[in-house]
Amino acid sequence: MAKSRLASRQRRPGARALLLCQPFRPERGFGIFRPSQRSLMDKSALITGGCGFIGSSLAVALARAGWQVTCLDNLSRRGSELILERLREHGCGFVHADIRCPEDLAKVAQRGGVLIECSAEPSVLAGSRGELARGMLANNLVGALNCFELARERGMAVVFFSSSRVYPYDRINALRFEEVATRFELAEASAGVSRQGIDTGFSLEGRRSLYGATKLAGELVLQEYSAQFEVPAVINRCGVVAGPWQLGKVDQGVFTFWLAAHHFQRPLRYLGFGGTGKQVRDLLHVGDLAELVLRQLEHLGELRGEVFNAGGSTVANLSLQETTALCREITGSKVLVEPCLESRPADVVWYLTDNRKAQERFGWTPRRDARAILADTYAWLREHERELARVLGFDS
């Protein structure tokens, strides 16, 4: 009965209101997802946020592995046209749609297979500015819910990209660190943290930024969808992801941004934590992330919302001071880097990802170190120098 009501329901022409303004309509039903063998073996993927850095990189990797890939994006990010051209060159389909609008998602023809949810407003700073927070919440919360509901309705499994920002910055910054020549180092292990990094057992009590809160909320909603509707699902909490085709900004892709600033001879600043550039983050090559996802897809029918960390860990991590030295070596350029005592909202002094859970479950570990990641990124940057100068705002 629920299926017949759904099939006969008339959509209002032109309706594009956000789900925030739309009450849930019971006639859509709460059908249980019953995964067929085909739905788990069907090598078709819908990637939301498919013209973003991670989404497009996964699309290309899956297409090369024999998957039929459709990318969905609203093309709001500057430089999306470059990514879209790349996707078409690799045979990926494209749907111009906004995940905040259920009517847009109805354009998707796919049933079964997997939905890879990469769409998000990824800037922590966007959530720190009141006038931008509503848009981020609509995209990261409402949009994710719409994607999960599409997956339930269409019989898709889900891979959800969350963030290391779910871990509270106040708890991380309260850990004991030792200041050495070029970086801060963890001085003492405690619950959920060791020299391997932060693991998924680290306490989630504390402040994490509005961005981090939206990603954690998305995780919780997906886990409930997975449990109640038997939707196969996996959640990846990513640290900094880097590599070719990242249109880096200081708050979204700091390592690519640092490289580009050296190449285009633009000044930089060490923000916060004494202005010395000793704060540490790990970095993961997007190709290594794609390898993890391909391994997860082989086991997706077994997964019901399990959470895994994915980051550079001890294989690839840098302080900003070390990043500057490496960028000078790779690019042959030296730029002015000034200290600034002002801290950015929700910033952390140190973050490494403990990947051991993913290693144990999928036999996965990052392969590329920091030098290899930056060298690969710089080769791409030089190849696309003219287009990137315009997109990154370095052409003036």
> Do β-strands 280-285 and 317-319 pair in parallel, antiparallel, or remain unpaired?
antiparallel
Task: Give pLDDT, residue 219.
Answer: 98
Q: What is the pLDDT of residues 10-36, one digit of tens each?
A: 333 333 333 344 433 333 444 554 544
Q: Is residue 9 in some structural domain?
A: no
Give me the residues paired with residue 252 across strands: 249
Nearest to 311 by CA among 364, 252, 377: 364
Q: In the structure encoding, which two tokens stand for residue 220, read together?
A: 């919780």
Helix locations, 130-230, DSSP H: 130-137, 143-154, 169-173, 209-229
Q: Is residue 23 in some structural domain?
A: no
Task: Give pLDDT, residue 333.
Answer: 97
| Residues constituting the chain | 396
Helix locations, 275-347, DSSP H: 286-298, 320-331
Based on C-alpha coordinates, what's the Rg of the chain?
Answer: 21
User: Cα(108)–Cα(110) distance, rounded to whole angstroms?
Assistant: 6
Tell me the CATH number at 348.
3.40.50.720
User: Cα(107)–Cα(229) distance, rounded to whole angstroms?
Assistant: 23
Task: Give pLDDT, residue 221.
Answer: 97
Is the CA virtual torsion 129, 132, 136, 138 positive or negative?
A: positive
Task: Give pLDDT, residue 347.
Answer: 93
- Number of domains into which the chain is organized: 1
Cα 202–298–112 angle (5° rounding)?
105
User: Cα(110)–Cα(85) distance, rounded to whole angstroms?
Assistant: 22
Q: Is residue 282 in some structural domain?
A: yes
Q: Is residue 20 in some structural domain?
A: no
Q: Is residue 219 in some structural domain?
A: yes
Please name the residue that has the structure tokens 């949009």: 143
**Domain of 232?**
37-391
Task: Give pLDDT, residue 127.
Answer: 59
Q: Is residue 122 in some structural domain?
A: yes
**Where are the strands (E) in 249-298, listed by range?**
268-271, 280-285
- Residues of the chain predicted below pLDDT 50: 1-30, 33, 35-39
H helices then E strands: how many in the chain?
A: 16, 17
The pTM of the full predicted model, rounded to 2 decimals, is 0.89
Q: Is residue 15 in some structural domain?
A: no
Whether the Cβ atoms of residue 335 and residue 264 lie closer than 8 Å to each other: no
